[in-house]
Amino acid sequence: MLLLIDVGNTNTVFALYRDEEALGQWRLSTQRTRTAEEYAALLIQLLTIAGFAHKDVEAVVISSVVPQAVLPLRWMSRDFFACRAFVVGEDVDFGIANKLPNPREAGADRLVNALAAVERHGAPLIIVDFGTATTFDIVDDEGAFIGGIIAPGINLSIEALHRAAAKLPHIALEPPAMVIGRSTVGAMQSGVFWGYVSLIDGMIERIEAEHGQRMTVVGTGGLAPLFAKHSTRLAHVDKDLTMAGLLKIYLLNRTTIRAGRDHHA
């Protein structure tokens, strides 16, 4: 079996595959001080509850935007799964051309998402990822990553608004029926929700104007389905884009990764 790990700023997602079949997925909060033993204890317990044996994991592939998490996960793979973990961008390539002047500035998750999006939806395209930050990533006609936009994530914006203004309450994220708020909560919900819808559609229009053509738009992340219902441009929703990209990277490097396990054993 194959274990894929996506370390984000807020959550770390573990996904188990047999060949190309998804068997299960588990989510832990990302903690920069978590040890290899803590990762192993939590993950092995989750696998056991789901009816899987950790000794059957034959390969581990990691994408991480949190450098502090990489080494403990490598040690976990080595000591508890008898595998060498392959880290995307360090041990294996991303599988997509990166045209940034400084390619290292692109987060691993953004390149992994771009690889999967091109595979599933073609190019050129825009990927809108609703995570800790809201990112817009652009792939050109040749299927190469050319850059993007990073905006504060919507939950960060809600939290910042609540903390910075003493009289403003913490609100739930939901689309208000009217744009003009008739209460403090209604006004805040409109500003946050419809503000983000306008951000999405407006940024897509500006990207296309600068790039000189209309592009396919794909949304990913937990909030993508909510915004896709109200955006005029968010045409496709692909919630598991990162895992699809990691799986593609594994398939492209399967011989190398399997050889790494055999060498470790």
Residues making up the chain, counted from first to last: 265
Query: Any alpha helices (H) in the chain, and if so which ranges?
Result: 36-49, 67-80, 108-121, 154-164, 184-211, 224-228, 241-252, 254-264
Sorted by sequence, the CB contacts under 8 Å of residue 256 that are 6+ apart come out as 86, 92
The residue to which tokens 């770390």 are assigned: 12
| DSSP code at position 105 | G
Residues 2, 49: Cα–Cα separation, whole Å: 18
Amino acid identity, residue 92?
Answer: V
Q: Would you call 196 exposed, middle or buried from its count of C-beta atoms within 10 A (0-12, 13-18, 19+)?
A: buried
Residues 265, 261: Cα–Cα separation, whole Å: 6
Q: Is omega for the bond preceding 101 within 30 degrees of 0, making it cis?
A: no
Active centre residues (catalytic): 109
- Name the residue among 59, 32, 219, 202 with its Cα closest to residue 130: 219
For the record, the structure tokens of 104 come out as 């290292």
Q: Are 215 and 173 in contact (CB under 8 A)?
A: no
For the record, the structure tokens of 166 come out as 């003493």
